[in-house]
Amino acid sequence: MPELPEVNRATNLINRIAKGRIIERVETVDDPIVFTGTTHEEFAEELTGRTVESAERYGKVFYLNLSGPGRMPVLHFGMTGMLQVKGELATYYKETPKSASTDWPPRFMKFILHLSDSQAGGTTQLAFLDARRLGRIRLCQTPLTEPPISDLGFDPILSMPSIEEFELLVLKRSCPIKALLLDQSFSAGVGNWVADEILYNARVHPEQRSNTLTNEQLAALHHQTANVCQIAVAVDADDSKFPENWLFKHRWGKGKKAAHDLKLPTGAPATIKWITVGGRTSAYVAELQTVGGPAKKLGRGKRKAKEDEEGDENDLASATDSEGPRDKETKSVPLSPSFRRPVFGKQPNVK
C-alpha cells in the first residue's frame, strides 16, 4: 500500500496540478464506505467554488487547504487508492501494470475535481481512485487537530522526536520492533517496505523485542527512521533512484525463487529471508540482522497471516505486546515541543 514516500508524491502532484486553481465542479460516486462522516453530495457541495491553496501530508494521510469558509478534504489511500490526472496514467504504488489506461472517467474513481485557472485559462481534471474501497475520504475543519491525524504518532519527516524521546517510546514496549514501527500511533507513515528498510539499514532483526534493544541499536533506528524516509521523499518515491544497496531493490522475489545481487559489506552474497511479523511479510538479511536479547515466539501457526507482500494493513491498527492489548501508556511519555505536529504541516526541503 502507499506509504509515506508515495503519499508525499501525491501531495507534490496536487500542488503541481491544482495549486492556485478553482474547483469549478466535483463529480462523485455514491460510496458510503469510502466517504466517511459525510456523503458524496455533501463533499462535492462543500468543495465547489473554492481555490486549492496547497496540499499537505501527515503520515499516510493527506489533505487540501482550500480558500474560504468550509471544511477541508482529508484523504487516505488505504491499499489501492491513487490519483490520476486526465490524459496521464495513474500514480501506482509500485509499478504500473500493462492494463493501465488513460480512459476517462477512470475506473474505480470516487471523485473528480474539475479545476480551472482564471489567469492562464483552461481546465484540469484530477481523480481519486480506489479499487478495493479501503481508502477514506473525510471533511475536517482543522485536519491536524482532528482524527485521523490527531490520533497518529510522530511523522519521520515532519516531527521526528529527539533520540531521548524516541528511546522512551520504544523501550516501554515489549512487542517486536517491526510491529511497533508499523503502529501508526507510534510512527505515522511507516508501512511494510519502509519498516523493513529501516531495520535493514539499522541492522536490527524484525522480531527483536522493543525493550531489548541496545543503545547502539536505538541510535541506529532513530537515525534510519528519518534517513530512509528523507531519501525516498527526496527522489519523489521514484524507486529507480533509490540506493542500489537498499533492501528494497532486492526484496520482491519471495516465492518466485528470483535471484538477487544484494551483497554483504564483505562482498559475499546476502541471504534474504522472509517471516511474518506484525501481520505482515517481513524481509531481512540473515547475516546482518540477528535477534539480540530474548525473542519470544510469535505463535504464527495459530494466527497465520497472509504471505502476500501487499496484504491487508489497517493503518489505524496498533502494535500488540505479546499479542495482547496495546499498551495504553504509549502516548503518556512527556514530549518536547519539537515532537508536536507543525502548525501548517510544512515539510523541509531535502537535498
60 flagged as catalytic: yes
DSSP state of 53: E
Alpha-carbon distance values, 178 to 169, 184, 249, 275 (Å): 14, 12, 19, 11
Amino acid at 210: S
Residue 34: phi and psi, rounded to 5, are: -75, -40
Rounded distance between C-alpha atoms, residue 196 and residue 206, angstroms: 8
Alpha-carbon distance values, 184 to 12, 25, 115, 152, 315 (Å): 22, 34, 33, 6, 6
Beta bridge partners of 72: 140
Three cell numbers at 302? 495459530
Q: Active site residue: 5, 46, 56, 60, which one?
A: 60
How many contiguous H segments (helices) and E segments (strands) does the chain have? 6, 10
DSSP state of 148: T
241 flagged as catalytic: no
3 flagged as catalytic: yes
Catalytic residues: 2-3, 60
